[in-house]
Structure 1
Amino acid sequence: MQKSAVIVHGTGGNPGVAWYPWLADRLAARGYAVQVPHYPGLNTEPIATFLPSALAEVHLDEETVLVGHSGGAAFLLALLEHIDTTVARAVLVAGYCTRPHACEEPVLQDEYDWDAIRSHARDFCFVNSVVDPYGCDATQGRAMFDRLGGTLVIRDDGHFGDHDQPYPTFDLLDRLIG
């Protein structure tokens, strides 16, 4: 079975920004079948209605690596709770599981079945910053790590890419995926 990867952009993003195209190319060069879906409704539509249509767009199996950034990482928590397969790894970059700031976060569920999430990925990796301008910081990474285990990497790199933070490559992430 071929290794695959799904890279999910953050809120207001798209597959062509930040490190997403670079990572997709790196993984494809190593033989991964890479999907980088565009989800314009991510974190604007409630997760309960957004999730079914988003799930229909991706193929997941035991060789899949999921990579999500910011709102895309939060989305992956819901996705992992509601799928019927176990993926190889989930890598959540600048992820969060509770509201990181005062704004609404439709991508978040009111509560999570952490056991179900844990059972649907063989490995987890969380990459967060000490300080993140949106509150997707080390505290959020620690909260997910404490519930799911895996590897927690704390950097001091802001949001790992944003409109005012160019982040065209992400060597650490490439190495973590392997």
Structure 2
Amino acid sequence: MATEGDKNLQIVIVPGNGAGEVTCANWYGWLARKLKDAGIRCQLQNMPDPITAKESIWLPFMEKELGCDEHTIIVGHSSGAEAAMRYAETHKVYGIVLVSPCVTDLGIENERASGYYNRPWEWQKIKSNTKFIAQFGSTDDPFIPWSEQEEVATGLDSNLFKFSDKGHFMQFQFPELLKYLLSVIKNRS
């Protein structure tokens, strides 16, 4: 599916904190395999500092090790969504896809320690550094209140895919996300 003009395009999956071996966690490995089978470059790696997911560690890793740049679609889940948003505040990327994002530390000390929530979100900078922003959220997410997910959607004018039965998107397959990514790549050509 990837055309000659797409040879630089890559998708980088940034997991949520605490995911363990990411190729076996949630839908991450499944999505990476499906994208590679479709001829699309995709990176999925265990992140450094996987429990706290510190911004000061994850963002440099995304730049230096994962090579996130203007030819990258970052797919971030949970803490990975916050990393994608903060990354896009200061770096040009092709697009970001946010799964279960939030805007506050939710009163959780470990989340507070990550560093993502200690200042206002720079929505305009994120929008100006991306060609598109999509978001997947579920009203029955047991960790992220819907009001937080709506705040992200409003701040970023994201293309919001709203569900009521996906929880925190911890299933082992995510066909809706795969279909969306394939359509973005197809329409890019």
TM-score, L = length of structure 2: 0.81
Partner in structure 2 of residue 164 of structure 1: none
> Secondary structure of the residue that 2:178 maps to in structure 1?
helix
2:169 to 153, 160, 165: 160
Contact 2:12–2:74 (8 Å) recurs in 1: yes
Question: How much has 1:40 moved relative to structure 2?
Answer: 3.7
Query: Any gaps of 5 or more consecutive residues in structure 2?
Result: 1-5, 183-189
> Secondary structure of the residue that 2:22 maps to in structure 1?
coil
Distance 1:21 1:128 in 2: 20
Distance 1:44 1:155 in 2: 27
Does the alignment pair 1:109 with 2:117?
yes
- Residue by residue over 1:85-132, the C-alpha shift from the partner in whole angstroms, topping out at 9 and shown as x without a partner, is 231x21111111222344441152322222111111111111111122
Distance 2:61 2:141 in 1: 30
Distance 2:162 2:46 in 1: 27
Matches within 5 A, 1:72-111: 72-83=80-91, 85-87=92-94, 89-105=95-111, 106-110=114-118, 111=120
Name the CA shift for 1:45/1:154 in 2 (closer, same or farther; >3 Å): closer
Q: Which has more helix, going by share of residues?
A: 2
Partner in structure 1 of residue 70 of structure 2: 62
> Secondary structure of the residue that 2:148 maps to in structure 1?
helix
Name the CA shift for 1:125/1:43 in 2 (closer, same or farther; >3 Å): farther
Partner in structure 2 of residue 172 of structure 1: 176
TM-score, L = length of structure 1: 0.85
- Residue by residue over 1:120-149, the C-alpha shift from the partner in whole angstroms, topping out at 9 and shown as x without a partner, is 111111111112221x24222211111111
- Residue by residue over 1:12-34, the C-alpha shift from the partner in whole angstroms, topping out at 9 and shown as x without a partner, is 11422111111001111222111
- Residue by residue over 1:55-93, the C-alpha shift from the partner in whole angstroms, topping out at 9 and shown as x without a partner, is 21112343321101111111111111121x231x21111
Name the CA shift for 1:42/1:81 in 2 (closer, same or farther; >3 Å): farther
Matches within 5 A, 1:14-163: 14-16=21-23, 17-42=25-50, 44=52, 46-83=54-91, 85-87=92-94, 89-105=95-111, 106-110=114-118, 111-134=120-143, 136-156=144-164, 157-161=166-170
Query: Any gaps of 5 or more consecutive residues in structure 1?
Result: 162-166
Question: How much has 1:43 moved relative to structure 2?
Answer: 5.7
Q: CA RMSD in A?
A: 1.9
Contact 1:91–1:125 (8 Å) recurs in 2: yes
Q: Structure 1 stretch 113-122 or stretch 17-26: which is displaced more?
A: 113-122
Q: Percent identity?
A: 27
